């Protein structure tokens, strides 16, 4: 103890214990029972605090009376130091843990925030990818997805559904005249109205500028589809209030039905689209069902093709003749033979309808031969009777020219009828130039070697290229009606006509204007020195009688 406290024995003997115990009160306060132990500080001679562990024992006399207390102390400085160190470490550790926890929770919060942001963006992206920004409706991608599901479901349940392809009529005009902002507003309102009238199981999407697709589920009958289409058409017909304007618009609808009009997404949409175009053609503001349309068209085409096969045998074909008049003298110098079909039940069928059928079915070769022979026979008769140098124009279709028989046909008919080849003019159109040019030129040269003349019909309306004028063996240019129609109305048409005439003259080609209907058209052409004219102004095509 002396060593620990730094005292000499003499300095400390018989002194109060308070000398070495600064907190002596604590000791007195204690219930000094046996084997009590506690920690306290002692003070050394140098005033250093020394931590000690005190054990106390009460000292009793023989009678059991308390004599005093024996305190035994033990230096616990090192233990304390270690304990402190441990505590410090512990505290540090706790602090570190707390700090890390704090950091982690901040990181966690940041992460949560980022995740939320990403999720929100994902939502946005998904929304953008599957919906239309303007109307908020689903977009094409979304519709196709839905349509695919509908197909799978209908396959399983063996039921059917319809899709409606809507296109607003004349929307472009509204956009152009009233501005895009108002056009956009109109589209939104159209979308709202459509959503309002649709059933719960129906699905609508905006798939293009003014195009909407609607899926009508569980279609039980054609009447049900018709009713739906009528509802849509009627709801769009009602005026729209856009700012201060009342806008009227209509919609055309094409309908395709699963599975009749297609079993795949693309096919169904395509057929509805085709039907929609038919609705537009048949006057807009209406709807057309694809199946009826295709069926009708196919039926009609099949029937016409069959009938056309018999037309020749049944003498239903007839040639009309339209005179060609010299502009200066007013004399008829030639005729164009124009084919007519007197159909038993349909009446007079336009060549614009049946020539394409004849071409597709290959019948054109036989029909063309008949036309050529008939026209040559007829003109020969008129030559003998009235105008010795009367010429005849006969239209040749491209399939005739590439049929290999044409050169033989022409030369044989000329021999048969005795017509001077110079009085026969074969009219070709620019679409022959879609075929192998070298081959066509070869055939035309062979025909021309027979001294037959060749005219280019409807010049400048199709695949025109001025270089063809150089390559094709030609005698005459026919200026088409579409340019003649522009005389007095459109300076561009007049310029084109003047230029074609100058060009023709420079190339030593004859010129004839087609579809001349009015006196001022005639006067213009005469002033431009066009050689001949053909058109209702003088004569319509007419029967030989
Ligand atoms: P295209 O060769 O351009 O015949 C001129 C068409 O214009 C004829 O119609 C004629 O009737 C019409 N036309 C003539 N002048 C006027 C006029 O002043 N006003 C109006 N509005 N129309 C006029 P069409 O007879 O209906 O013939 C249509 C087309 O059918 C012809 O056009 C021709 O490409 C083709 N076609 C006619 N006959 C034959 C033929 O025998 N063989 C071939 N391959 N095609 C033919
Ligand atoms: Ca013609």
The pLDDT tens digits for 412-427 are 999 999 999 999 999 9
Query: How far apart are the C-alpha atoms of 126 and 120, rounded to whole Å?
Result: 10
> Is residue 79 very low, low, confident or very high in pLDDT (cuts 50, 70, 90)?
confident
pLDDT band at 33 (very low <50, low <70, confident <90, very high): low
Q: Which two tokens stand for residue 52?
A: 């000690």
* Ligand 1 site, residue 431, Cβ cutoff 6 A: no
Supply the DSSP symbol for 500.
H
**What is the distance in A from the centroid of ligand 1 to the CA of 168?**
35
Per-residue pLDDT at 532: 98
Ligand 1 and 232: CB distance under 6 A = no
Beta carbons of 426 and 459 less than 8 angstroms apart: no
Burial 390-407 (b: 16+ CB within 10 A, else e): bbbbbbbbbbbbbbeebb
pLDDT of residue 72: 82
Q: How far apart are the CA of 354 and the centre of ligand 1, in A?
A: 12
pLDDT digits (tens, 9 = 90+) for 285-311: 899 998 766 666 766 777 888 899 999
CB 390 within 8 A of CB 383: yes
Tokens of 151: 């197909």
- 322-336, 426-440, 473-487, 493-507 — which is least confidently predicted? 426-440
387-403: pLDDT as tens digits = 999 999 999 998 899 88
Pocket of ligand 1, candidates 311, 338, 394, 426: which has the most ligand atoms within 8 Å of its Cβ, to mutate?
Answer: 338
- In the chain, the N- to C-terminal Cα span, in Å, equals 158
Rg, Å, the chain Cα set: 53
Q: Which residues face 246 on adjacent strands? A: 241
CA separation, residue 283 to residues 250, 280, 290, 305, 512 (Å): 11, 6, 16, 27, 36
Name the pLDDT band for 505 (thresholds 50, 70, 90).
Answer: very high
Give yes or no for residue 379 CB within 6 A of ligand 1.
Answer: no
Does 348 sit in the ligand 1 pocket, CB within 6 Å?
no
| Region for residue 321 given its phi and psi (left: phi exceeds 0; alpha: psi -120 to 50; beta: otherwise) | beta
Q: What is the pLDDT of residue 491?
A: 95
pLDDT over threshold 60, residue 31: no
Helix (H, G, I), strand (E, B) or coil at 135: coil
pLDDT band at 322 (very low <50, low <70, confident <90, very high): very high
Q: How far is CA 192 from CA 186, 228, 495, 499, in A?
A: 10, 16, 50, 54
Structure confidence at residue 340 (pLDDT):
96
Give the residue whose CA is nearest to atom 25 of ligand 1. Answer: 338
Structure tokens at 45: 């001679």
Phi first, then psi: what are they for 457, rounded to 5°?
A: -85, 150
pLDDT in tens, 172-215: 888 888 888 999 999 999 999 999 998 888 999 999 889 999 99
Specify the pLDDT at position 60. Answer: 82
- Å from CA of 259 to ligand 2 middle: 45
**Most confidently predicted of 28-32, 124-128, 381-385:** 381-385
pLDDT of residue 216: 93
Residue 428: phi and psi, rounded to 5, are -115, 155
Do residues 212 and 205 lie in contact, with contact meaning Cβ atoms separated by under 8 Å? Answer: yes
- Residue 66, CB half-sphere, CA atoms under 13 Å: how many? 9
Name the helix (H) or strand (E) containing 69: strand 66-75
Whether the predicted pLDDT of 450 surpasses 90 = yes
Closest residue by Cα to residue 5 from 24, 21, 16, 23 = 21
For residue 521 and ligand 1, the question of a CB distance below 6 A is answered with no
Length of the chain: 545
Nearest CA to ligand 1 atom 6: 515
Residue 219: phi and psi, rounded to 5, are: -75, 120
Question: What string of DSSP letters covers 46-60?
Answer: T--EEEEEEEEEEEE
Computed over every residue of the chain, the mean pLDDT equals: 90
Q: What is the mean pLDDT of residues 71-95?
A: 86
Instruction: Assign 121 a pLDDT band (cuts: 50, 70, 90).
Output: confident
Nearest CA to ligand 1 atom 42: 395
pLDDT in tens, 237-279: 999 999 888 898 999 999 999 998 889 999 899 989 989 988 8
What is the value of pTM for the model shown?
A: 0.56
Judge if the upstream peptide bond of residue 259 is cis by omega within 30 degrees of 0: yes
Q: Is the CB of 356 under 6 A from ligand 1?
A: no
57: which strand partners? 70
Kindly identify the ligand whose nearest atom is closest to the C-alpha of 324.
Answer: 1
The predicted structure's pLDDT at residue 215: 95
């Amino acid at each position: 103890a002396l060593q620990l406290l730094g005292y000499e024995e003499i300095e400390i003997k018989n002194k109060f214990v308070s000398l070495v115990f600064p907190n002596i009160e604590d000791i007195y306060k204690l219930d000094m029972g046996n084997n009590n132990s506690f920690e306290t500080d002692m003070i050394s001679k140098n005033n250093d605090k020394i931590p000690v562990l005190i054990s106390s024992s009460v000292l009793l006399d023989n009678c059991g009376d308390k004599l005093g207390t024996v305190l035994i102390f033990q230096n616990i400085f090192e233990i304390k130091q270690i304990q402190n160190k441990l505590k410090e470490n512990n505290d540090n550790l706790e602090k570190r843990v707390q700090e890390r926890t704090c950091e982690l929770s901040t990181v966690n919060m940041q992460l949560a925030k980022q995740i939320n942001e990403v999720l929100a963006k994902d939502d946005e992206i998904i929304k953008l990818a599957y919906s239309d920004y303007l109307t908020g409706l689903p977009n094409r991608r979304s519709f196709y997805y839905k349509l695919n599901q509908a197909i799978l479901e209908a396959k399983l349940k063996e039921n059917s559904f319809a899709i409606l392809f809507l296109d607003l009529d004349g929307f472009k005009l509204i956009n152009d005249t009233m501005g895009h902002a108002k056009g956009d507003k109109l589209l939104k309102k159209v979308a709202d109205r459509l959503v309002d009238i649709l059933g719960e199981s129906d699905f609508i999407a905006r798939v293009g500028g003014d195009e909407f697709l609607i899926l009508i589920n569980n279609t039980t009958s054609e009447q049900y589809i018709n009713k739906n289409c009528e509802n849509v058409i009627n709801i769009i017909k009602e005026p729209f209030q856009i700012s201060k304007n009342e806008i009227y618009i209509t919609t055309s609808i094409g309908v395709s039905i699963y599975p009749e009009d297609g079993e795949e997404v693309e096919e169904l949409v395509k057929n509805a689209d085709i039907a929609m175009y038919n609705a537009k053609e048949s006057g807009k503001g209406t709807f057309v069902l694809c199946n009826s349309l295709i069926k009708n068209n196919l039926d009609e085409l099949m029937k016409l093709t069959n009938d056309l096969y018999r037309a020749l045998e049944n003498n239903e074909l007839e040639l009309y003749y339209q005179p060609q008049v010299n502009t200066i003298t007013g004399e008829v110098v030639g005729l164009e033979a124009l084919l007519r079909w007197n159909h038993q039940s349909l009446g007079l069928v336009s060549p614009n309808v049946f020539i394409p059928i004849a071409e597709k079915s290959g019948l054109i070769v036989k029909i063309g031969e008949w036309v050529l022979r008939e026209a040559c026979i007829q003109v020969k008769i008129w030559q003998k009777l009235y105008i010795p140098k009367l010429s005849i124009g006969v239209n040749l279709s491209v399939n005739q020219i590439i049929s290999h028989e044409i050169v033989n046909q022409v030369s044989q008919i000329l021999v048969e009828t005795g017509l001077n080849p110079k009085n026969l003019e074969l009219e070709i159109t620019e679409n022959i130039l879609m075929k192998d040019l070298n081959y066509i030129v070869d055939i035309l040269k062979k025909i021309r070697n027979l001294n037959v003349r060749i005219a280019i019909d409807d010049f400048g309306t199709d695949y025109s290229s001025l270089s063809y004028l150089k390559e094709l063996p030609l005698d005459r240019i026919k200026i088409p009606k579409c340019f003649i129609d522009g005389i007095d109305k459109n300076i561009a048409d007049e310029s084109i006509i003047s230029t074609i005439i100058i060009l023709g003259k420079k190339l030593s080609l004859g010129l004839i204007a087609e579809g001349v209907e009015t006196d001022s058209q005639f006067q213009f052409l005469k002033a431009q020195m066009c050689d001949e004219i053909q058109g209702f102004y003088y004569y319509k095509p007419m029967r030989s009688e």
